[in-house]
């Protein structure tokens, strides 16, 4: 017993050492570069500013291939700087295309800063160290886990820190154009997979708002929570850059029918950068949580920048609110706000995933506890059909998952970014949202919903006996279901189990 007491402190120190992260590793601050008018994208931005003083320009990117093509084309045109911030990057086809284009840009002398969260990006530290050995590439990981122990053990031991994540997504080239929205860098976000793709939405923008996106990026890049990849202990291998060039060249030089070929040949993207596709002129503001949000107690009011901005927009609504979110789990204050606005006569529509389409069953399990409460208050609920072919019994049909995070208010304001309506986005992680004051953009979204919402979703409602029902009406096809439509027995069992667990505040 005495020996155990003496060994316990030593064991504690040993374990703590295995999960420690060298957050004091030296690093230099850097910032978004000033635009250089000689660069093609800077000239593109200058032409826009000259014709639209004080306004930013926007091009919606609802299609995955267009969104990928916009990134790849912008990287081709890059001359001075690339600043990319993402929640995750995978080493799949989309990830290889993206990294390959970054390497090409760096070879031309472009300064590349790549920042991503460390929790779900596969641990490819050797690859990252090799890329970061390029004199023009710097890679940082946000709030990284220890590499001296398995990831699960590091998270468990240091849960209070490791549970706080950077969910922001932004992409800036030559300080002239930016892409903001909900996509990460992985094939499913660009609809490149045979099944299991994500429906998402972004905008490509130029004008004054790009500087605001860059300011948010710099805050995270220079945060003490952003650690250079070299700090993880992997030796850089500059001699392997040639191997990586060859591997990625094989991906980016594919045939015209490949994902790369189809993306870079996007007619929309080419028309935008050639000036043939007019951008939508509007004013916009960016609300971004600060890195400090992840250092203070969860829910600390002084750091809920995005949550407060979103709440203010909802409070100001006079006629209608449309919420599109893959995960819908508002806390009591959020539910009360929606019910109060509905009582004022504001039409409220919420579009989210069904149990069949969601990639996060625990969230859906707890969301469904509040459906009846919201429906009784007059909130309209729509849940995405998981299949592209309604009515099909083909078990191999493509499953679609909603991943868009958008907020439309009074047919005038469109909010777009990384924030979900759930406790994790609001209280735990950092997020970014852009509010665009544009009746034209808002109306485009409303027109799409008026034309396609019925065909893509189940409308959730209550029948005359206050029982939950799912209604599908598209053309001559009418369906009414009494249970979670399209969900397998296994998913239903999972949802029932998760509903019993006290985990709502962590979702």
Catalytic sites, residue numbers: 167, 169, 174, 403, 405, 410
- Going 422 to 424 to 229 to 246, the CA torsion angle's sign is negative
DSSP state of 230: G
How many C-beta neighbours within 10 Å does residue 376 have?
12
Contacts of 255 (CB under 8 A, 6+ apart): 261
Please choose, from the candidates 238, 171, 211, the residue with its C-alpha nearest in 3D space to the C-alpha of residue 56: 211
State the helix-helix crossing angle for 93-107 and 64-77, rounded to 10 degrees.
10
Q: 322: number of CA atoms within 13 Å, CB side? A: 23
- The structure tokens listed for 507 are 């979702």
- The structure tokens listed for 486 are 């399209």
Distance from the Cα of residue 120 to its chain's centroid: 13
SS (HEC) of 182-217: CCCECHHHHCCCCCCEEECCEEEEECCHHHHHHHHH
Strand partners, 286: 434
Using CB atoms within 10 A of its CB, is residue 404 exposed (0-12), middle (13-18) or buried (19+)?
buried
At 137 the three-state DSSP class reads: strand
Distance CA 383, CA 367 (A): 12
How many C-beta neighbours within 10 Å does residue 371 have?
18
State the helix-helix crossing angle for 64-77 and 267-274, rounded to 10 degrees.
40
Distance CA 173, CA 73 (A): 10
Please choose, from the candidates 417, 426, 68, the residue with its C-alpha nearest in 3D space to the C-alpha of residue 209: 417
Contacts of 240 (CB under 8 A, 6+ apart): 130
CA angle 463, 468, 472 (to 5 degrees): 80
Q: 245: number of CA atoms within 13 Å, CB side? A: 11
The stretches of 78-150 forming alpha helices (DSSP H) are: 93-107, 125-132
Q: How far is CA 495 from CA 127, 363, 369, 375, in A?
A: 38, 9, 11, 20
Please choose, from the candidates 417, 443, 445, 412, the residue with its C-alpha nearest in 3D space to the C-alpha of residue 430: 417
Strand partners, 459: 382, 471
Distance CA 404, CA 109 (A): 35
């Amino acid at each position: 017993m005495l020996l155990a007491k003496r060994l316990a402190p030593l064991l504690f120190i040993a374990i703590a050492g295995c999960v420690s992260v060298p957050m004091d590793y030296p690093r230099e601050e850097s910032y978004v570069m000033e635009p250089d008018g000689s660069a093609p994208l800077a000239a593109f931005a200058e032409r826009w500013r000259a014709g639209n003083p004080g306004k930013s320009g926007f091009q919606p990117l609802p299609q995955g291939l267009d969104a990928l093509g916009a990134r790849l084309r912008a990287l081709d045109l890059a001359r001075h700087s690339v600043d990319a911030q993402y929640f995750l990057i995978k080493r799949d086809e989309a990830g290889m295309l993206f990294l390959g284009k970054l390497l090409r840009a760096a070879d031309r002398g472009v300064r590349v800063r790549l920042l991503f969260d460390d929790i779900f990006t596969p641990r490819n530290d050797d690859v990252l160290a090799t890329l970061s050995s390029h004199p023009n590439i710097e890679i940082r990981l946000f709030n990284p886990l220890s590499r001296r122990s398995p990831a699960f053990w590091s998270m468990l031991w240091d849960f209070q820190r490791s549970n706080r994540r950077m969910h922001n997504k932004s992409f800036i080239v030559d300080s002239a154009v930016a892409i903001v929205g909900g996509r990460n860098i992985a094939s499913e976000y660009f609809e490149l997979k045979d099944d299991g793709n994500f429906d998402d939405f972004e905008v490509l923008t130029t004008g004054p708002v790009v500087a605001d996106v860059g300011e948010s990026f710099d805050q995270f890049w220079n945060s003490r929570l952003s650690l250079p990849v070299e700090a993880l202990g992997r030796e850089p291998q500059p001699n392997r850059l040639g191997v990586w060039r060859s591997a990625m060249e094989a991906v980016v030089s594919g045939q015209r029918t490949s994902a790369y070929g189809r993306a870079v040949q996007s007619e929309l993207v080419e028309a935008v950068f050639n000036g043939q596709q007019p951008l939508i002129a509007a004013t916009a503001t960016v609300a971004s949580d600060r890195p400090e949000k992840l250092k203070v107690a969860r829910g600390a009011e002084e750091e809920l920048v995005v949550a407060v901005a979103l709440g203010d927009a909802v409070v100001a609504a006079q006629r209608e609110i449309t919420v599109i979110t893959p995960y819908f789990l508002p806390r009591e204050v959020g539910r009360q706000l929606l019910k109060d606005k509905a009582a004022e006569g504001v039409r409220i529509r919420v579009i989210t995933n069904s149990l069949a389409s969601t990639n996060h069953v625990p969230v859906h399990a707890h969301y469904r506890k509040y459906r009846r409460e919201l429906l009784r208050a007059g909130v309209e609920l729509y849940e995405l059909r998981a299949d592209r072919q309604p009515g099909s019994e083909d078990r191999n049909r493509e499953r679609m998952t909603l991943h868009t995070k958008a907020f439309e208010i009074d047919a005038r304001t469109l909010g777009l970014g990384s924030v979900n309506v759930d406790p994790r986005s609001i209280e735990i992680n950092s997020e970014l949202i852009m509010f665009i004051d544009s009746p034209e953009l808002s109306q485009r979204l409303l027109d799409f919903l008026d034309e396609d919402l019925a065909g893509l979703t189940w409308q959730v409602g209550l029948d005359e006996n206050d029982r939950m029902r799912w209604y599908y009406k598209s053309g001559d096809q009418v369906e009414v279901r009494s249970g979670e439509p399209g969900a397998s027995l296994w998913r239903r069992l999972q949802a029932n189990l998760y509903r019993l667990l006290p985990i709502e505040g962590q979702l």
